[in-house]
Structure 1
Amino acid sequence: MAEFRSGFACFVGRPNAGKSTLTNALVGTKIAIASSKPQTTRHVVRGIVNREDAQLVVIDTPGLHKPRTLLGERLNDLVRDTWSEVDVIGVCLPADQRIGPGDTFLVSEIAKLPERPRLVAIATKSDLVGGDRMAEHLLRIQALEAELGIEWAEIVPVSAVAGQQLALLTDLLVGLLPPGPQLYPDGEISDEPEEQLVAELIREAALEGVRDELPHSIAVEIDEMGLRPDRPEDKPLLDVYASMIVERESQKGIVIGRRGSRLKEVGQSARHQIQAILGTPVYLDLKVKVLKDWQRDAKHLNRLGF
């Protein structure tokens, strides 16, 4: 029988390159929030792929970007720290976009690592382009080897949305892991604390449909969370009291909406998602707070866990 393999792979790429969607697809359930808004991911989220021959821990990281705030600087530090701890880095290069300066900057930064993990180029969103465009994209990816002094262990087109080549990608990533023991118990799919997952699901619901200037200004804090006492075991209810945090009073009005309509929509959407993932009925109490310029304030960032 083949030797058991275990280890860590992280997905990197420009904001909105499909990293979170790919993480969820490989793990087989939603563990990372995915949104059409760039820079949605703010924490390192670990998803666990369990197989008979291997355990692959997939790490979804924030997108590396030009930071405009202290939060942005801290997120970039988080990405770089993760690079130095993994066995494989999967660089997500969306097939429907040209490879640009942001991509070459990202790969050149990885190339500077003193001990470089194995590199896999992943042409994400492959369902959005035809054969000719894909061939051109793959050749351009290959050309980065000579340009940046790197070597791709594999180059693979995938579509997380259409489910194309996901099994192949998992096989390729597993093949690059070192032999080693199981790292997490059977059946575990993430090591993300439940409170963090719930906060992220609320933020995801809040991001859908708000104006473009708002996404980076929203954070979510869980004030209190726990199963309601005095409930029979077969009828549990999870109480969640949470605050959505924005930077200005004007943003508070946008999040709440006319007569509270927007806040109500966010609450309903988040509650359905939380119930679906945790498998428990949920009572969700949502408030909106203003923490002035929290993205630029070290004290506020520490309090919010960044």
Structure 2
Amino acid sequence: MVSEFRSGFVCFVGRPNTGKSTLTNALVGSKIAITSSRPQTTRHAIRGIVSRDDAQIVLVDTPGLHRPRTLLGQRLNDLVKDTYSEVDVIGITIPADEKIGPGDRWIVQQIKAVAPRTKLIGIVTKIDKVSRDAVAQQLVATSELLGEDADVVPVSAKSGEQVGVLVDLIVSTLEPGPAFYPDGELTDEPEETLMAELIREAALEGLGDELPHSLAVVIEEIVPREGRTEKQGELLDVHAILYVERPSQKGIVIGKGGARLREVGTAARTQIERILGTRIYFDLHVKVAKDWQRDPKQLGRLGF
């Protein structure tokens, strides 16, 4: 007997840097969410699509929920809370290598207040970093945090351990329903957003703590290069601006003699060409938008 096809929307929620984006990428099997060791890397609700013969999971990758200090922070939190009430399952990510703290408890309280009827799953992430005993202790602690009704599963998105078990668990909690997207589609995110996020990820790598919140990327235009022969293949000219809040940050992003900015372009281009299957030429510029995180007009212009 063939089981009924199931489908639904799922989001992973947790403190910043608990492995949500890495987990999304592991389930989808392709890089669609940016990952960085810096908190507050994700800024958009990127959807990844997991298609199986018996089910389709639409993953919504949200920014980490945090106590906001700026208007940008508040808008990111609002984005997350809007997502809570619209999904079928919420996976709470708790890293195996950190004790459960006030931040985790605050997030669970927020979820239960905003979406009391949404199904919760506890996901203990980064299990490749600790011993089996430590994983077992964290599973018990997570179960106590979420309540006895919530299933809890340990995973390592990095090694792939237990990822299949997590997918099976998610599918089992979804209601019967149709596929939302054609088979083979990985994300419904516009190319411009994906490019901007991957440029920002490349720019954040190896930079100081002050920069993650202060950096925004806007794709000005994407233009197919004219006069290319069939043998040469398509080439897209991508014009992008990296916005920072202070002149001192502009120098950090550009680097000595523009070396840092060239590295950013090379790293982002490699990722984007792999996803789109098209060659890219980047024209990157860095501009200062003073204190944009606190300015409603500038936030709107930068897409928040």
Shorter-chain TM-score range: over 0.9
Conserved 8 A contact 1:119-1:151 = no
Query: Is 1:170 the equivalent of 2:167?
Result: yes
> Quick check: 1:118–1:152 contact (8 Å CA) kept in 2?
no
Match of 1:246 among 244, 255, 263: 244
Tell me, in whole angstroms, the C-alpha distance in 1 between the residues paired with 2:44 and 2:149.
Answer: 27
Per-residue CA deviation, residues 151-187 of structure 1 (Å, 9 max, x unaligned), is 5431000000010000110010011111111111121
Give, in whole Å, the separation in 2 of the partners of 1:5 and 1:151: 25
* Equivalent residue number for residue 153 of structure 2: 156
Correspondence for 1:58: 59
Matched-pair contact (CA < 8 Å) for 1:5–1:55: yes
Residue in 2 aligned with 1:25? 26
| Structure 2, gaps ≥5 residues long | none
8 Å Cα contact 2:81/2:114 also seen in 1:
no
Corresponding pairs, count: 302
1:107-127 superposed Cα distances (whole Å, 9 cap, x missing partner):
111111354211000000011
Partner amino acid for 1:226?
V
In 1: Cα distance, 2:151 partner to 2:77 partner = 25
In the alignment, what sits opposite 1:4?
A: 5
Q: 1:233 deviation in Å?
A: 3.8
* Alignment-mate amino acid for residue 181 of structure 1: P
SS in 1 for 2:86: coil
Q: Report 1:74-85 matches (<5 A).
A: 74-85=75-86
Tell me by how many angstroms 1:229 deviates: 2.5
Alpha-carbon distance between aligned partners in 1 of 2:202 and 2:114, rounded to the nearest angstrom:
37
SS in 1 for 2:150: strand
* Partner residue in 2 for 1:135: 136
CA distance in 1, matches of 2:72, 2:238: 26
Shift in CA distance, 77/157, structure 1 to aligned 2, threshold 3 Å: same
Q: In the alignment, is the contact (CA less than 8 A) between 2:143 and 2:150 conserved in 1? A: no
Quote the Cα distance in structure 1 between the aligned partners of 2:286 and 2:245.
11
Q: Name the structure 2 match of 1:14.
A: 15
- Tell me: CA distance 1:191–1:152, structure 2 relative to 1, closer, same or farther (3 Å): farther
What TM-score do the two structures reach when normalised by structure 2? 0.97
Corresponding letter in the other structure for 1:297: D
- CA 138–175 in structure 1, closer or farther in 2 if over 3 Å, else same: same
**Whole-Å Cα distance in 2 between the matches of residues 238 and 114 of structure 1?**
43
Equivalent residue for 2:275? 277
* Equivalences for residues 175-186 of structure 1 within 5 A: 175-186=172-183
Check if 1:298 corresponds to 2:296: yes
Amino acid at match of 1:250: S
Counterpart check, 1:119 vs 2:126:
no
Structure 1: how far apart are the matches of 2:13 and 2:148? 16
Question: Once the two structures are aligned, what percentage of the paired residues are identical?
Answer: 64
Offset from partner CA, 1:201-253 (integer Å, 9 cap, x none): 10000000111111111100001113223223451101100000000111111
Looking at structure 2, the residues matched to 45 and 245 of structure 1 have their Cα atoms a distance apart, in angstroms, of 21
One-letter amino acid matched to 1:261:
A
Structure 1: any 5+ residue segments left out of the alignment?
Answer: none
Normalising by structure 1, report the TM-score: 0.96
Asked if the contact 1:206/1:266 (under 8 Å) is kept, the reply is yes
Do the aligned partners of residues 288 and 274 (structure 1) sit closer, same or farther apart at CA in structure 2, a change above 3 Å counting?
same
Distance 1:152 1:35 in 2: 32
List structure 1 segments (4+ residues) > 3 angstroms apart after TM superposition. 150-153
Q: Which secondary structure does the structure 2 equivalent of 1:200 belong to?
A: helix
Within 2, Cα distance between the matches of 1:223 and 1:290? 16
